Amino acid sequence: MLRPGAPVTSTCATTRLPPSPFYTPRPPPSHYLLPHALLPPDAIPIGGDARTPRTHATRHQPIPAASRSRRLLRRAHLAAMLSARTAATTSPLDKYGEDRATEEVPVTPWAFSVASGYTLLRDPHHNKGLAFTEKERDAHYLRGLLPPAVVSQDLQVKKIMHNLRQYSVPLQRYMAMMDLQERNERLFYKLLIDNVEELLPVVYTPTVGEACQKYGSIFRQPQGLYVSLRDKGKVLDVLRNWPERNIQCLPITIDVGTNNEQLLNDEFYIGLRQRRATGKEYHELMEEFMSAVKQIYGEKVLIQFEDFANHNAFDLLAKYSKSHLVFNDDIQAGTGIAELIALEISKQTKAPLEECRKKVWLLDSKGLIVNSRKDSLQSFKKPWAHDHEPVATLLDAVQSIKPTVLIGTSGVGRTFTKEVVEAMASFNERPIIFSLSNPTSHSECTAEEAYNWSQGRAVFASGSPFDPVEYNGKIHVPGQANNAYIFPGFGLGVVISGAVRVHEDMLLAASEALADQSTQENFEKGSIFPPFTDIRKISARIAAKVAAKAYELGLATRLPQPRDLEKYAESCMYTPVYRSYR
């Protein structure tokens, strides 16, 4: 899935589990179906009747004697049909006409699979590499295709971590991880889960931002589905092309073009090489997509909008939140932070929401959002326009308003300057500074800057990971206020409850569940979040709280309600240990 910096937009359609490396879809089967009319002459059908598509195996599979005559007759008939189509081949071994194929003279791209032998080793969903047992090697024709050693999955993880640590460039680690995912999916997720603190910055923020910017250059294998303007009128067919119906998570990239001149002129660019679509053309494609997703996956398909431009993100969320099960972590964990803060203040103080909004001030590129600017403001900013004289800079706003908390989500790097942090520290004993923009180059300030400029008094959290900082002999561990803490568990809670809509109280429940897991030990180190090594336990508790709130609000449809929602959430999580094969 493309991330920030990419010229296209991505969406996740989830039917059971949320889009996250921690709750990965159980892999689809490697067998795909071929209609009989498309069988090559040496493919032998297994079971079923002649009118039904089915899985196929190659000739070395055993055939029941009673079926042999009928199948030989069918093969002869198919061979005759095929030979009539491809009579003039250039080689006696050219059974399917590949030797004479040109761009003008096409041939059928025969593809059929067997769950054994060489094909099994090339299937990332089922491949175990050297972890195949002696019994499995005999049963699945792997003898001689692997070195003789049989190793455990844990040893495989240890070896790959050793190799990954040899790379000094994060993007190289990212590419190595993606290569592993294409070879051995279960090992990839086992590696990630066991080493999440070290590897999450590689496969997610901040390295994924660079990977998106260089996506065309480093592209190896397609992942998920790709919908572009060229597919307009055929989006339903595109979704049907995904071979597995019972999916749990499906990343979908929506390409509407790009205005990035560097990409338009890049010979390696693999997206639509045209200007970004807007207006009617854009919204017609999105309307078709949203309709098709529900048609394929049902009313309760959970759709996460990811990395949509602000001017589209707010419109799409407003338009579809009443008719679809949708959320947008960039909005609901971006500008939505302000609304959630106001809601929580109102909940705790019983004060009207309008009054609580006045405790929260917003700035944009033109300065402080005030009433005198209301006529020119976008609709989502208007509730945050308060009575105050115009203020052009962040420093002037901080000095005038004297906030206790400073939260950055602008995506503009180095906006929390030394003067701004020192001003915050001048009237707060423990200034709270959240630099949430990603990637690291867009961070409003670094952890080291926040601690040094506040004389070690800042309570700091960031969107991108930062190393611990020593100040005056004390080690400060910066918290990572990344959506990876909240939204995997949030999505899981929505799915396990069968919620039909996302409510703001469910977002508050997720925030409260995370806060409840922070300890005094975390606070003493300067971190306001629990350690990320516990992310699966954290996410299960968040999922349970979100699901409970959905049941409380009457939005849940999965009945009866599980007695222990946390245990139920854990049972729905993907476990990447190897399976035994017959």
**Residue 312 labelled as part of a binding site:** no
**CA 121 – CA 309 distance, rounded (Å):** 41
**CA 458 – CA 475 distance, rounded (Å):** 13
| Distance (Å) of CA 171 to CA 164, 168, 186, 190, 284 | 11, 9, 22, 20, 36
| Distance (Å) of CA 376 to CA 370, 372, 386, 412, 523 | 11, 9, 14, 22, 42
**CA 35 – CA 410 distance, rounded (Å):** 53
Residue 131: partners with Cβ closer than 8 Å, 6 or more residues away: 150, 151, 152, 153, 156, 578
Task: Pick the closest to residue 325 from 347, 342, 303 (CA basis).
Answer: 303
**CA 450 – CA 418 distance, rounded (Å):** 8
Can you give the length of the chain in residues?
582
Helix (H, G, I), strand (E, B) or coil at 467: coil
**CA 200 – CA 437 distance, rounded (Å):** 17
Helix (H, G, I), strand (E, B) or coil at 475: strand
**Residue 103 labelled as part of a binding site:** no
Q: What type of residue sits at position 158? A: K
**Contacts from 322-326 at CB under 8 Å and sequence distance 24+?**
322/501, 324/290, 324/294, 325/299, 325/300, 325/301, 325/494, 325/499, 325/500, 325/501, 325/502, 326/302, 326/502
**CA 381 – CA 407 distance, rounded (Å):** 16
Q: Bin 332: left if φ > 0, else alpha if -120 < ψ < 50, else beta.
A: alpha
Cα distance between the two ends of the chain: 34
Residue 105: partners with Cβ closer than 8 Å, 6 or more residues away: none
Residue 228: partners with Cβ closer than 8 Å, 6 or more residues away: 254, 255, 256, 271, 272
In angstroms and rounded to an integer, the radius of gyration of the C-alpha atoms of the chain is 28
What does the DSSP 8-state code read for residue 34? Answer: B
**CA 468 – CA 476 distance, rounded (Å):** 6
Q: Are 499 and 561 in contact (CB under 8 A)?
A: no
Sheet holding 479-480, edge to edge: 405-408, 432-435, 459-462, 479-480
**Residue 504 labelled as part of a binding site:** no
**CA 289 – CA 254 distance, rounded (Å):** 9
**CA 108 – CA 93 distance, rounded (Å):** 16
Q: Write the burial class of residue 443 (CB in 10 Å: 0-12 exposed, 13-18 middle, 19+ buried).
A: buried
**Residue 472 labelled as part of a binding site:** no
**Residue 482 labelled as part of a binding site:** yes
Task: Pick the closest to residue 266 from 219, 206, 230, 204 (CA basis).
Answer: 219
Q: What type of residue sits at position 58? A: T
Residue located via tokens 């945050």? 384
Cite the annotated binding site by residue number.
306-307, 330, 438, 482
Cite the annotated binding site for a divalent metal cation by residue number.
306-307, 330
Cite the annotated binding site for (S)-malate by residue number.
438, 482
